[in-house]
A and B are shown apart, each in its own frame.
Chain A
Amino acid sequence: MQYVCLIYVPPDLQDMPERDSEVTAKFVAFTKDVIERGVRVASGRLADTSVATTVRLRGGQRLLSDGPFAEAKEVLAGFYLLDCEDLDEAVDYAARIPSAAYGAVEVRPVVER
């Protein structure tokens, strides 16, 4: 079963991996581990929400707005798509994502078929 681990952090901590080499090293190690175990399907770090563009289609018209779709206390900063046996395994990996220590990781199963 595929699970996406959505990485949420406070907006001012989005650049932690750039600011803090220890955090970077931990992310690199974690990613390497999930690849080696054959669990990782995809993963990525997102650019700062300040450069986001939000798109809506209304009456056939494209409406673009500058910035994230909603102001939030915690913003989506990255994700891991993992192939796990069950929720317990997914939660175990989620808890090991370095940003779990300063943000939150939402674990969501990907609907099959």
Chain B
Amino acid sequence: MRHTAPLRYARLSNAEVAIDRLFRQNAGRVVATIAKAFGDIQIGEDAVQEAYIRLLKLSESAGLPENPQAWVMRAARNCAIDRLRRSLTQSEIAERVARLELAIPDRDAGDSRFPDDRLELIFACCHPALTLESRVALTLRSVCGLTTRQIASAFFVPETTMTRRLARAKRKLREAGGSFALPPAGRLAERLDSVLGAIYLIFNEGYKASGGAQLTNVELCEEAIWLAGLLHQLLPREAEALGLYCLLLFSHSRHATRVAPSGAVQPLEFQDRSRWDMTAINTAAGLLVKHGPLRPTPYVIEAEIAAHHATAERYEDTDWTRIAALYEMLAILNKSPAVELNRAIAVGMAFGYERGLAALDSLSSAPVLRDHYLLHAGRADFLRRLGRSYEATVAYSRALSDVPTLPERIYLEERLRELDPDRE
């Protein structure tokens, strides 16, 4: 089930609350079916918007219909057909209406016959011919039903920029003939990669808001988890979809403990594990067991690393040797600076701080990492654990000069003050 969305408006009537929830849970599904039938996401979005406005009016005068979900689907279908009548010739309308009727049964159908074209919509929104930014925005808009304003504020861009980005993406899909069919088996892996990358970015943006005061944007994380769960549910045999879903569940299970009362980011070592979300952890751990053993693909490996952290009873129980081995595997498949950094840290925790320090130093020749705050924060941490206080101070200071978020800045400053109490 989908998380209950926090209400965006104060003082809503019961019917409005019910409709708001319905919208958030089902809008994507209706958009998907209409967009697929028309080959145009905008028509789907407009029709759904219009249908919900009609539903709101109906609920004020006569109450909610018996099956609001089916009611909305039919209303949206009729809105889309009305719009067609204004813009197309008679024969074109007949053809499109026939296609719509095929897609949306006119009767009150049970849930099993209610069409679910969201998978097609997700693949269309995340078409690799779109930029990653556009894929992310379009997915949040069309599949998750977020408003343009909400998406703009989540990504720290002006609303006008986001409006243009969305319009351009939709136009490109429409005019360039972006397909609403599922990719053929031979192309599925490539296309799925593109979808998972977008979901991962949505989560990361929420998990670690890329700048500013707040470290997490819980709603964005929850949208990503919902999407990943949906994808797993629709493609149960794809290991990478399962891996991403579990990875996000594990990571998000710590959202309540990631920031200390001082406002500093709280490292795993000092988090209160009793406050981790055990439901999320058990769900993910259970899924990995149920579907395992899985082929070691990147998201699956990351999920297994996250599982080791999430299921260790105490920090001291963390199986760093296994984690280091998993990062080693991951580095072979996906040689990225972030993976190398994490591998070096795991090596230090598993085989001695000196080795970790050496591993980090060997990375500092890479241009992207040379001045990166995480490299210097990692070095500082090993130096501190080794009792090399002066060098640790230098490394913390260097990390501080480049740190992007406030909670991380506060953390580094706290560490510095511990080492050098006279510091201002």
Contact = CB atoms under 8 A, between A and B. Distances in A.
Per DSSP, are chain B's interface residues mostly helix, strand or loop, or mixed? loop
A52 interface: no
Interface string B114-130: 00000000000001010
Contact of B129 (A84, A85, A87, A92): A87
A91 B178 CA distance: 11
Nearest to B180: A86
B176 interface: yes
A92 B179 CA distance: 13
B292 interface: no
B177 A109 contact: yes
Interface string B89-131: 0000000000000000000000000000000000000010100
Contacts of A88: 179, 183, 187
Contacts of B179: 85-88
A86 B178 contact: yes
Interface residues of A, number: 13
The dominant DSSP class at the A interface is mixed
Contacts of A1: 177
A87 B174 CA distance: 10
Nearest to B186: A92
A87 B175 CA distance: 10
A90 interface: yes
Contacts of B183: 88
A93 B183 CA distance: 15
Interface in A1-39: 1, 3
Contacts of B187: 88, 92
Contacts of A3: 177
Given A87-B127, A91-B129, A109 B175 contact: yes
A92 to B, nearest CB: 8
A109 B179 CA distance: 13
